[in-house]
Every structure is written in structure tokens, then in C-alpha cells.
Structure 1
Amino acid sequence: MDFLNYPFASKRNTVIANRGMVATSQPLAAQAGLDILKKGGNAVDAAIATAAALTVVEPTSNGIGGDAFALVWMKEELFGLNASGPSAKSISKEALAERGFDKIPMHGVIPVTVPGAPSAWVALSKRFGKLPLTEVLAPAISYAEEGYPISVTLGQNWQNGYKKYKTTLTSKEFDAWFDTFSINGRMPEIGEVWRSPGHADTLRKIAETNGEAFYKGEIADKIEDFMKQHNGFISKEDLASYKPEWVEPIKVHYKGYDVWEIPPNGQGIVAQMALNIYKQADPKWQDADTLHQQIEAMKIAYTDGKAFVTERNQMPVKVETLLSPAYGESRFSEITDTALEPKPFDIPKGGTVYLATADAEGNMVSFIQSNYMGFGSGIVIPETGVALQNRGYDFSLDEQHPNFLQPSKRTYHTIIPGFLTKDDKAVGPFGVMGGYMQPQGHFQVVTNTIDFHLNPQAALDMPRWQWMGEKRIDVEPHFPNYLIQALERKGHNIHVTVDGGSFGRGQIIWRDQKTGVLYGGTEPRTDGSIAAW
């Protein structure tokens, strides 16, 4: 794999190790995963430990009340887990109208869907783990109980969320959020130690009961009681009947490599569709025509993804069609020398925190979990630390749309883990978290790696672009000016994000197929860290 040692100037060097590696957005969480590896756990145990720790040390992005997805490479085989929760059994467009809603609100009890993250930890542990869940969740419990100092990027995001919520989330249902995420009734400061004893207690109960306390026991009771009190929809029956789904990952072949994603309802297929379209191109390094074709391929893929992706069995077009050579060739032929506003293709008659782990046995995990839009719904179940997600916000109330709101339905989902293989052997896990940036980040990481032979850290350090809709493209402040000018001449509406914008936060671990040595890259746009052994 010639990209492992490519001499591209990078802000940080690629981390190299051979006995184990954990890459994620918080050093304390990465260390938690590494500690579990050193205690005899495997890559799956490390992933669970890291994920649970992230609910504590990065609550601005995820929590116990969020969803999760995983791709697991175990004994030379790739497994997929979809732990995204459905809408409540009692919710519907009519039920919303009875409560006075003609659209789904962003915050509050209404957009809350069943949390899937705890079920992911349990399912992964039962199937692949080596250590008991009580031992694997111990570092996260310790962080919540004893506290930890708030890091820089985390603190900035926390303060931004707190200021926004203070003026917008003023009703009684949000009181517990402020009780949980304040220190002495005020906004936490960077470097200040924050504790969450309720969070620790909930994690301990999940560990001791293998999730039963959360989905069928006392935590489920507390969630239901809160929902009844504030006129929400989620019930204990919704929680008790939920099970995560083991799924067969989907792939697209790209220039000698297979790029794997979780199938819809997740949006990983959008990254694959873009690669499927773009692989007809002849890319050149730091070239305006190449960049234009990349942007146009992503615009087309996203337009089709948003039009068609929902629960797989409810999609109006097959996954196989969207990943077929005919689809890629047809959509690529529509790319011209100028920026277009794509429309969904005609259907032939007849679908955050990210972490990657690896162990000395060759096992690897690509794992992602999220509450959505930062802190999620703004709803925290009192004295539990359970901050609930707001995934229901993405449902459509248009009855003709595939992602139309229905009871017990999983919505179009933004969080996606990625995995790369070559000749049926693992190269490794990768991911770029960040809402609708995620498929665009996956696409850019893969093309940087395969087309331009960048090592993991260099692939993450490259300046990013993001399609925002119509002809608007946001780019980072350090994006080359000559490329900005060339893209504008092609009709793109380029916005340089002076405030940094949201261009995703990625992690990569590649394994050298000859030596077994691990090469890791972590995100420079956050408090990213790699713990290696």
C-alpha cells in the first residue's frame, strides 16, 4: 500500500504501532480504549469502552440516548450492525397535528426516537467481546463519577450550545439539561472539571444488566414517565421491543479497493454513489477540473440519496441500482464544465462521534454514535445523564416522500462508519463525523488515499470542501485561492468559512497487509487523539 509512506507535508505525523490502536476525537476516550486492549480485550471491547467514554467526555456530540452503527472486521470477515432506533409506535402525522404541530420541531420530546447506542454496546459485546461489559464500561463510569477537565474544542462547542439553549430552550422540559450540563448553575469553562454522577449510575446499570435496565427496567420507567409528563411519544413498550439489527455491509469497487458502508437507512450509500460516479474521471493532483468533477459527483449522489434513502425495504429504488456501473456511468455523463443544480434521476420502471480500533490479532472496528445536532433534543432524563437524540427531525411530513413519518420507522440517518478492503483483506476503518458532511468527508478521504496516495494523517489534513445546496460550496480558510478562483469561473458559488465552519472530524487506521503494522491518522479540527501500543 504505497499511500502509507507518501512524503506529503502534514501537520502531524502518522502514528505507527503494531499491538493495538484507538483513534477518536478525545484523548481520554482513546486512552480508555487502549487500557481495555492492555487488559486483554480485543478491538471490539476497545471500541465499546471508547464509545461509552465518549458519551461522558464529549457530550456535545453524543450520549447514552443516541444511535450507533458499526462495521467489525473479525477473523477475516466484515460484519455490520445497525443500532439506529425507530420512531414511537404512537407517533404519526395525525398525532402531531392533534398536538398543534404542522412540522417536526428540532428540539423537545417530539423528535425523540428510540436510543440505539446502549443496544450496540451490548450486541457487540455478546457477539465478539472478550471481557465482561462491567469491565469494559469501567473507564467511562470513572470519568463520569470522578470528573475530568474540559478540553479546548469540547469547551468551545459546549459554550456555544449552552448560549444557544439558554435563549431558545426555555420551557420546563429542558430544565434537566441545564441541571446536567451546568456547573453551579452556569456555563462550564475550558479546563474546569465536570462530573455527572447520574451518568455514571446509568452506565453502571447498563453494564450490570447487559442493557436490560435501560430498555426494560428502571431507566426505561424514568424515560416513559418523563415522556408522559411532557406529552411525548416514546414509551417503555417502544424501548422494550427494540433490537439492533445485524446487517450485511454494502460495497462499491473503486480502483482496486472495496469501500464498505452500512446499508440504508444510513447515508453511507451517498459516499459510495459519488465514488461510483466519479471513478469514470481521470484525477489530477490539486487540479481545478478534478475538483469540479468531485463536487459535481457528490452533488448528484446527494440529490439522489436525499430523494430515495430511507428504510431499505421502503426505498423506491434498489441499492443495487444506485451502486451499479450503469448508474455511475449515466450520472457521470451529465457532468459538464460548469456547475449544475442536479435533479433526482428517473427511477427505472420494473441512507456525531467516530472512533476506530485495531488489535494485534487483526481485528478492527469502525464505530460511530451520535445524538444529532450537538446535544440532540435538549431533553435529559433527570438524574440519569441520559441526553436523548432528535433523529425524528429528519422525517418528512410529505406523504409522497420515501422518508415520510410513520410509526416504528427508522429515518434517513446521517451517521456512517466506513471500511476499506483490498483483495478481500482488511485495509482498515475510517470515518468523518459531522451531519451531512459525512459522505462528503468519506469521499474526500477515500480519493485522497487511493487517487493521490496520501498517508492517513495527510488524508485528514487536506483542506476540505462541502456542498451546501444549489451551487454553493463552502471551503476552509486555508483552501488554495487559485482553486477557489477556478471553481468560481466554472459557476460555483464559493464561500470561504472564516469561522472554520463544520467540515467533519475524521479518524483512520490502516493496516499494512504484509507486515500487520498499524498506521493511524486523527482529526486536526478537534481534540483528536490516537492511543497506540
Structure 2
Amino acid sequence: MRQPMIGTKTMVVSPHYLASSAGARILQRGGNAFDAAVAVSACLAVVYPHMTGLGGDSFWLLHSKADGAVRAYNASGRSGYRASRALYAGLDAIPQRGIRSVVTVPGMVDGWDAVLREYGTMTLADVLEPAIGYAEHGFPLSRDQYANTLQRHLLLNAMPETSAVYTPGGCVPRAGSRFVQRQLAQSLRRLAMTGRDGFYKGDLGRRIASYLANRGGVLNEDDFADHEGSWETPLSGSYKGLTLYQVPPNSQGFTGIMAPQIIEGFGFGTAPGAVEHGSFAYYHLQIEALKLAFQDRNAVLTDPDFSAIPVERLIDKAYCRALADRIDPNKALPVLSEPVGSDTAYAAVVDGDGNAVSFIQSLYFEFGSAVTAGDTGILLQNRGSFFSLDPKHVNALEPRKRTFHTLMPAMACRDGAPHLLYGTQGGEGQPQTQCALLTRIADYGMDPQAAVDAPRWVWGRTWGESTQELRIESRVPEDVRAELARAGHLVRTVDAFDGVVGHAHAILIDGHGFRLGGTDPRSDGQAIGW
């Protein structure tokens, strides 16, 4: 069993070792957790470009030791002024790839600016330095990027600007080969000089908008110029003495509060007669709780500026207990899910002063829309393709609207101080894996590395599939998998450490003040602390 990384002052976790290293470099240079987090985020935009980038969105949970509060920042983009269902007349859904899937403004750069302005001690140019270096001079192409490129090379080859970067000459670069993104390096350098306004109101924004406009895209210069993210009050709940924090809608974060509160009365733990870790009941109860949370989520989640979302009722303890009463301890509920994107990058940073940042970012699908905006090297997200074209749907496409968002970084505090920072890649899988990590650490005393390494599952439907599968790793004992099948779960056994269950990472600040970091062996990540 792998041991967690342990630090007495700092800890950085991310799905790529070079991004973790970038955060550590900023901390060593005297930056705080907020400076380091932006450096990690920017570096991931370079070294994990199939998962995240300047053309995508992010969500942030931040605890400042100075003010003692947890705050949230929503760095997700809105649809364009021209976005309407009429633009997609004759279609059943917004295309998932290509120019017409680029419906929302990228919010990532705005998030970097907001975090640094509010809490940072370094300039944007300072924290972008590692990312610029890796884009300009290259880095060893990761196994995860290779696997995703191999899977999607025909799609990438069909987009000339994208193919020139990711499949040059129509070929898939090998894992470990030097991967260089010179155009992206130039865009990052320009961003370092001009700041946020250079992206949204300056040359970069104009070039992206012009590229899209010339090819029939939805977004224009005004959409970029008028973009603003927002500081939010996080949602909070509780589990076993911990205060749970999640970002509010348009994020699905409230499901990460609902599910633990639904299972809280079932007695997970190590006491005699408690639900044993890894047992049928351990998996079944969590899966059923999450199904119930997903039912509510699918009915209400959208941009709260367009539709009232009864989130306080949904995370109320009494309501969660009522949902728990609907769980049959021996039978799976017949609940339907909606397919959502699963490709994401989660990371977290804690510094020596007690500041903590839990954040997550994405292009939605792997390689997003697959559209690279001309010579900027910036791959654009397809997050807006999740809008519905049904005018009666709560998440129906409308101008200047944020879509239902799966991204949900998590933080749990004890006595007002950060105790656990946790999150994962994956759409439907995010609240499922968060619940697993929380129970493993809070109920079974696991360290973050053991919690991340233990067998996982993901329930739900992926694109192109009509069934609600329970994909579960082969390390789960055969008799447990058989019992889950007998209970009505459509069990599909996947590899022992399968990427389909996501890339999870966590930092635990224990009762002695040590920082314990865990990163997912299913990723290319690393924990760095001292």
C-alpha cells in the first residue's frame, strides 16, 4: 500500500506531477496557497490539455486564514448574447463537438484574476511562469494524454488547427515524447503582460471571437467583453462533526452534501455492527443515496438567475433523512440518469499559514469542442452543448445563461479550520467518489492515499449508452459484486485501477497539523509537501 505524502507546512496535489511541482515552486519562492493554486491551474492547462485549458471553466473553494471564512468563486461562462434554440432548429440537441458546440464564454482566466486579486501576493506573470516554460519548451507527453489522443485522433484530425497541435501530420504522439505548444506559449505570454482584460477585452478575446464568427460560431466580442465570474457564499452541510462546503448552483455541488447526509444514519464505521468498509451495504447504500440526490439535481439544476433552485431545502438534514427512508437496504431503486461529460482536473493546495484552496477545472469532454481558436493555441470548451433545446427543460438554452455544471470542488472543516480538501475528475462520478473519500477518511480512519487507492465505482449512463451501469473495479470481491447484481444493479466489472472511475486527490490536515496528501494512481499525479 502506498503511503501518503506528509508535510508539516505545505501540500500540493494534482493529476499531473509537473503541475504539482509548479505549485511547490511558487510556495518555495514565498507565494501563498492562492498564488500556488493559480500556478497549478495554469500548468494543468498546458500539461493536461486534453482535460483543461484557457478555453474552459473552473470552480474554486478558498479558505483564508486571515478572515477565517470559506468562500467560493464561480468561474464558469455564460452563453452568448446570440445563443438561442432557434439557431439549432431541426436538431434534437446541440452538437457535442465542433464550432456549434462552442456556446459559452471560457471562465478560467477570469478565475485566475479573481483569486490573485483577492488573496494573492504575486502577479499573474509570476505564477504563469512555469506554464509558459512547459508550453514553449515542451514536456513529456503523459500516458493519459496519449490514451485520450489515441481514442479521439480521428476527431482531432478533422480540425486542422487542432490536429496541427495534438496530432501533427495525422499521427498520435507517443507517451513520453516532447510535446510543445508554441502558440499557446505566446498566448500565455500575452496574458502575462496584459492580464485579464487582454483575454476578455483585448487582443486574445478579439482573435478568438473573430475565428468563431468567421466559421459560423455563436460567441462574439461583446460576449467576451461582458463576461464576469462571481464570488459566492458556499453551501454548507455536515457529516459526523465535519462541516461540508460546496460551491452553489449552477454547480451540482449540493449533491456532495445531500449524499453524505442521506447515509449518515446508516451507521458507517468500525464499531461492532456498523456498516463494514467494502461490504455490499457500503457500496449499495452510497449508490442509492446518490441516485436520490441525482433525481433532485436533474429536476432543478441550472443557472439560478433563470430559475429558482430550492437548494436549502435539498440540503436540509430533515429532508435528507426523509430520502434515506426511501432506500431499500436490499434492492436497487429504478432511477434514470442523464449522460454528462467526465473529463476534468481537480487539485488542492495548503500552505504553512493555514490557507487552503480546493479547485476544479475542465473543457467538459476530452479535448472539449475539439476546436482550437486559430493561431492562439487555445482549445475551446463544449460545456454549452449540455443546454437543452426543449423550451420546457429547466436547463433550456437561453442567451447569457450558465448551464448545469458538474464541476464541484469540496472542502470539509473541523472547528472552523480546513480538515479535508477533496475532489475528482468525472461528471456523475464526482459526488460518488467524494462520498467514498469522505466516508473512508471520516468513518474508517484511512489516510488520503489509502482512501484514493481503495477500489471505486461509478454509477450512471455514459454517452451513447441506454443502460444505467454500475461500473466497479475488479478489486471489489466477487461475492460483493454478485450481491450487488442480485440487488438489481447492472454490474459491469472494469479494470483493477480503471480511469473510468475518475482521478481523485485529497489533502487531510490531521489533529497534529500535519498535511497528508494523496493522489490517484489512475492519473499522472503527485503529492508534494514539506
TM interval, short-chain normalised = over 0.9
Counterpart AA for 2:509 = R
Q: Which residue of 1 aligns with 2:514?
A: 517
Distance 2:258 2:495 in 1: 30
Of 497, 502, 505 in structure 2, the residue corresponding to residue 504 of structure 1 is 502
Give the 3-state SS of the residue equivalent to 1:366 in structure 2: strand
Query: How do residues 52-201 of structure 1 correspond to structure 2 at under 5 angstroms?
Result: 52-75=42-65, 76-97=68-89, 100-112=90-102, 113-166=104-157, 170=158, 174-201=159-186
Distance 1:497 1:69 in 2: 30
Of 408, 433, 438 in structure 2, the residue corresponding to residue 416 of structure 1 is 408
How far apart are 1:512 and its partner, in Å? 2.4
| C-alpha distance 369-79 of structure 1, shift in aligned 2 (>3 A) | same
- Equivalent residues of 1:104, 1:111 under 8 A apart: yes
Q: Which residue of 1 aligns with 2:206?
A: 221
1:36 equivalent to 2:26? Answer yes
Distance 1:50 1:316 in 2: 35
CA displacement, residues 356-413 of structure 1 (integer Å, 9 cap, x when unaligned): 1111111111011110111100110122111000011111112222111111100000
Q: Which residue of 2 aligns with 1:4?
A: none
Q: Which residue of 1 aligns with 2:230?
A: 245
| C-alpha distance 232-429 of structure 1, shift in aligned 2 (>3 A) | same
Distance 1:423 1:299 in 2: 31
Counterpart AA for 2:322 = S
Alignment: residue pair count: 507
Query: How do residues 339-358 of structure 1 correspond to structure 2 at under 5 angstroms?
Result: 339-342=332-335, 352-358=344-350
Of 406, 411, 421 in structure 2, the residue corresponding to residue 429 of structure 1 is 421
Counterpart AA for 2:357 = V
- Equivalent residues of 1:264, 1:310 under 8 A apart: yes
Distance 1:141 1:529 in 2: 20
| C-alpha distance 237-109 of structure 1, shift in aligned 2 (>3 A) | same
How far apart are 1:163 and its partner, in Å? 4.3
How far apart are 1:82 and its partner, in Å? 0.3
- Equivalent residues of 2:238, 2:244 under 8 A apart: yes
How far apart are 1:161 and its partner, in Å? 2.5
Of 439, 451, 454 in structure 1, the residue corresponding to residue 446 of structure 2 is 454
How far apart are 1:511 and its partner, in Å? 1.4
Q: Which residue of 2 aligns with 1:276?
A: 261
1:488 equivalent to 2:485? Answer yes
1:296 equivalent to 2:288? Answer yes
| C-alpha distance 488-47 of structure 1, shift in aligned 2 (>3 A) | same
How far apart are 1:317 and its partner, in Å? 4.1
Distance 1:471 1:314 in 2: 30
Q: Which residue of 2 aligns with 1:5?
A: none
Counterpart AA for 1:134 = A
Of 28, 46, 52 in structure 1, the residue corresponding to residue 36 of structure 2 is 46
Q: What's the Cα RMSD here?
A: 1.6
- Equivalent residues of 1:202, 1:384 under 8 A apart: yes
Distance 1:30 1:471 in 2: 35
Distance 1:227 1:28 in 2: 32
- Equivalent residues of 1:339, 1:471 under 8 A apart: no
How far apart are 1:314 and its partner, in Å? 3.7
- Equivalent residues of 2:99, 2:369 under 8 A apart: yes
CA displacement, residues 157-192 of structure 1 (integer Å, 9 cap, x when unaligned): 2322224544xxx3xxx2111112134552211111
Of 473, 493, 496 in structure 2, the residue corresponding to residue 476 of structure 1 is 473
| C-alpha distance 191-472 of structure 1, shift in aligned 2 (>3 A) | closer
Counterpart AA for 2:13 = A
- Equivalent residues of 1:40, 1:131 under 8 A apart: no
CA displacement, residues 284-307 of structure 1 (integer Å, 9 cap, x when unaligned): 122212321111111111121112
Query: How do residues 258-407 of structure 1 correspond to structure 2 at under 5 angstroms?
Result: 258-283=243-268, 284-285=275-276, 286-336=278-328, 337-342=330-335, 352-407=344-399
Q: Which residue of 2 aligns with 1:440?
A: 432
- Equivalent residues of 2:428, 2:459 under 8 A apart: no
Counterpart AA for 1:406 = E
Counterpart AA for 1:247 = E
Distance 2:445 2:495 in 1: 29
- Equivalent residues of 1:32, 1:50 under 8 A apart: yes
- Equivalent residues of 2:61, 2:73 under 8 A apart: yes
Distance 1:246 1:121 in 2: 13
Counterpart AA for 1:198 = Q
Counterpart AA for 1:255 = K
CA displacement, residues 5-41 of structure 1 (integer Å, 9 cap, x when unaligned): xxxxx3x111101232211011111111100101110
How far apart are 1:130 and its partner, in Å? 0.6
Distance 2:378 2:292 in 1: 38
- Equivalent residues of 2:156, 2:166 under 8 A apart: no
Structure 1: which 4+ aligned runs deviate by more than 6 Å? none
Distance 2:169 2:48 in 1: 20
- Equivalent residues of 1:49, 1:139 under 8 A apart: yes
- Equivalent residues of 2:505, 2:519 under 8 A apart: yes
Distance 1:313 1:87 in 2: 13
Q: Which residue of 1 aligns with 2:271?
A: none
Q: Report the identity percentage.
A: 36
**Which stretch of structure 1 is more off in the superposition, 153-162 or 130-139?**
153-162
Counterpart AA for 2:180 = R
CA displacement, residues 182-211 of structure 1 (integer Å, 9 cap, x when unaligned): 345522111110111111111111121221
Q: Which residue of 2 aligns with 1:208?
A: 193
Give the 3-state SS of the residue equivalent to 2:171 in structure 1: coil
Distance 2:172 2:237 in 1: 45
Counterpart AA for 1:155 = Y
How far apart are 1:280 and its partner, in Å? 2.1
Give the 3-state SS of the residue equivalent to 2:390 in structure 1: coil
CA displacement, residues 244-265 of structure 1 (integer Å, 9 cap, x when unaligned): 1000011111111111110010
How far apart are 1:501 and its partner, in Å? 5.0
CA displacement, residues 25-60 of structure 1 (integer Å, 9 cap, x when unaligned): 111111111001011100011000011011111111
CA displacement, residues 194-237 of structure 1 (integer Å, 9 cap, x when unaligned): 11111111111112122111101111111111111110111110
Q: TM-score, normalised by structure 2?
A: 0.93
Structure 2: which 5+ residue stretches go unaligned? 269-274, 338-343, 462-466
CA displacement, residues 460-490 of structure 1 (integer Å, 9 cap, x when unaligned): 0111111115653110122221110111121
Give the 3-state SS of the residue equivalent to 1:13 in structure 2: coil
